């Protein structure tokens, strides 16, 4: 019976000790918060110009890949790792290996960016099903890559995936990449083509890639970043691209994405690029359209406006006309002095083509002698809107 006092004494000691220990709730409060690992962005930009069965596009896709690599570097925060490939891989197996290598180590909070500039094709199966594919080529070997195969590779990569396609029929491919982990930017609709701008053998680019870069580098910060935090969502970027890109119908999925996709470049260095290009109301009357727009330039630059009529089978580039800006520098027509500019471009009905529709191109000229034309904007103007 002598055990009872001993048990009581042990109980009292244990209660005293337990009163000095923090409760589980107190532990949770006192425990320092675990810091989330920083987001790592991995980027792969692929441009293919040399083909076996398709038309060669040099140097446009190479320039596209270079442009996107620079944009990734300047518009993605934190630890960004960029890989660029031109004219290759030429097989699906090699591309799968490259994707695994570039995006290896990706975690759930990381973002993987994959950009393609190549030919896209679409065809009808005997059963009536439409199929589409990207053309992989290194100039000697060529294979077609269907989007379902590409998605099976990307599905294995943890975290978010951003797919950017400057390829014909890319809107049809975009539809395969639905899901909360995907965001897709495609340069044209399922039945449409993407177009390249080429100016000689040394200069060229895709209209869509140029519009994407222009949106992030030259749009008004008030328009692209109203809250001033520097972040640009897919929804915001889509709205701006549609303002300055009309050669095809771009596809953005999901349209209502508010997550940060890019950061606006912190610095804008003085350049010949037109800044803050914005369109006002288009008025129709007396057999013509009056297109109002505004832009700003930080240096003297040559500018012209090109009109491409819409024909029965699409844009009739061979029938386009060029109009220099109204300003001049000495005897040089179209040379615009730096500053804020307001323009009203009057377009007669016959210049709109058989369908009453034309593609307005705002073109600046760069280079030491101002001989390199660069498309700043491609916007559709239509009679009867």
Same domain, 185 and 319: no
**Residue 104 pLDDT class (50, 70, 90 cuts):** very high
Indicate the length of the chain as a whole number. 385
Same domain, 286 and 255: no
Same domain, 207 and 291: no
Q: For the segment 70-84, what is each residue's pLDDT rounded down to a tens digit?
A: 999 999 987 899 999
DSSP labels, 38-96: PPEEEEEEEE----SSS---TTHHHHHHHHHHHHHHHHS-SEEEEEEEES---SHHHHH
- According to the model, what pLDDT value does residue 126 have? 65
Tell me the pTM. Answer: 0.88
Assign residue 287 a region: left if phi > 0, alpha if psi is -120 to 50, beta otherwise? left
From 241, 263, 285, the end of a domain falls on: 263
Same domain, 333 and 190: no
- According to the model, what pLDDT value does residue 228 have? 81
- According to the model, what pLDDT value does residue 354 have? 83
* CATH number, domain containing residue 297: 2.60.40.10
Strand order in the sheet with 142-145: 120-124, 130-137, 142-145
Same domain, 123 and 179: yes
Higher pLDDT, 35 or 89: 89
Domain for residue 2, yes or no?
A: no
DSSP labels, 278-292: EEEEEEEETTEEEEE
Q: What's the average model confidence in pLDDT over 283-309?
A: 93
Q: For the segment 225-253, what is each residue's pLDDT rounded down to a tens digit?
A: 887 888 999 999 999 999 999 999 999 99
Q: What's the average model confidence in pLDDT over 144-154?
A: 98
Same domain, 217 and 93: yes
pLDDT surpasses 70 at 350: yes
Same domain, 253 and 287: no
Domain limits at 292? Answer: 275-382
Domain for residue 5, yes or no?
A: no
DSSP tag of 219: S
Same domain, 138 and 62: yes
From 218, 239, 263, the end of a domain falls on: 263
Same domain, 311 and 166: no
- Domain count of the fold of the chain: 2
Q: How many Cα atoms occupy the beta-carbon half-sphere of 273 within 13 Å?
A: 18
Domain for residue 318, yes or no?
A: yes
Same domain, 365 and 249: no
Same domain, 247 and 145: yes
Computed over every residue of the chain, the mean pLDDT equals: 87
């Amino acid at each position: 019976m002598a055990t009872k006092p001993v048990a009581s004494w042990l109980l009292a000691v244990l209660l005293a000790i337990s009163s000095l220990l923090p409760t589980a709730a107190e532990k949770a409060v006192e425990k320092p918060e675990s810091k989330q690992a920083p987001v790592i962005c991995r980027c792969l930009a692929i441009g293919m110009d040399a083909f076996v069965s398709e038309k060669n596009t040099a140097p446009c896709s190479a320039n596209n890949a270079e442009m996107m690599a620079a944009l990734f570097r300047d518009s993605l925060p934190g630890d960004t790792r960029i890989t660029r490939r031109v004219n290759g891989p030429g097989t699906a197996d090699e591309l799968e290996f490259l994707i695994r290598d570039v995006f290896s180590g990706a975690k759930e909070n990381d973002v993987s960016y994959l950009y393609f500039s190549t030919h896209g094709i679409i065809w009808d199966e005997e059963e009536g099903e439409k199929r589409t594919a990207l053309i992989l080529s290194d100039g000697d070997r060529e294979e077609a890559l269907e989007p379902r195969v590409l998605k099976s590779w990307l599905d294995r990569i943890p975290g978010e995936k951003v797919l950017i396609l400057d390829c014909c029929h890319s809107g049809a491919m975009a539809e395969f990449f639905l899901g909360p982990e995907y965001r897709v930017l495609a340069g044209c609709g399922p039945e449409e083509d993407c177009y390249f701008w080429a100016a000689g053998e040394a200069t060229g680019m895709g209209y869509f890639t140029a519009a994407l870069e222009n949106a992030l580098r030259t749009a008004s910060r008030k328009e692209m970043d109203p809250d001033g935090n520097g972040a640009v969502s897919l929804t915001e970027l889509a709205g701006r691209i549609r303002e300055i890109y009309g050669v095809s119908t771009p596809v953005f999925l999901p349209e209502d994405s508010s997550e940060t996709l890019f950061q606006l470049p912190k610095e804008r260095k003085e350049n010949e690029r037109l800044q803050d290009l914005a369109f006002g109301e288009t008025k129709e009357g007396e057999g013509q359209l009056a297109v109002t727009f505004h832009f700003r330039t930080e240096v003297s630059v040559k500018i012209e406006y090109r009109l491409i009529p819409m024909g029965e089978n699409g844009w009739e580039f061979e029938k386009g006309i060029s109009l220099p800006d109204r300003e001049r520098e000495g005897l040089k027509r179209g040379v615009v002095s730096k500053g804020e500019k307001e323009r009203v471009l009057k377009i007669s009905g016959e210049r709109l083509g058989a369908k009453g529709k034309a593609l307005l191109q705002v073109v600046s000229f760069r280079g030491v002698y101002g001989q390199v034309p660069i498309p700043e904007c491609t916007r559709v103007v239509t009679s009867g809107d």
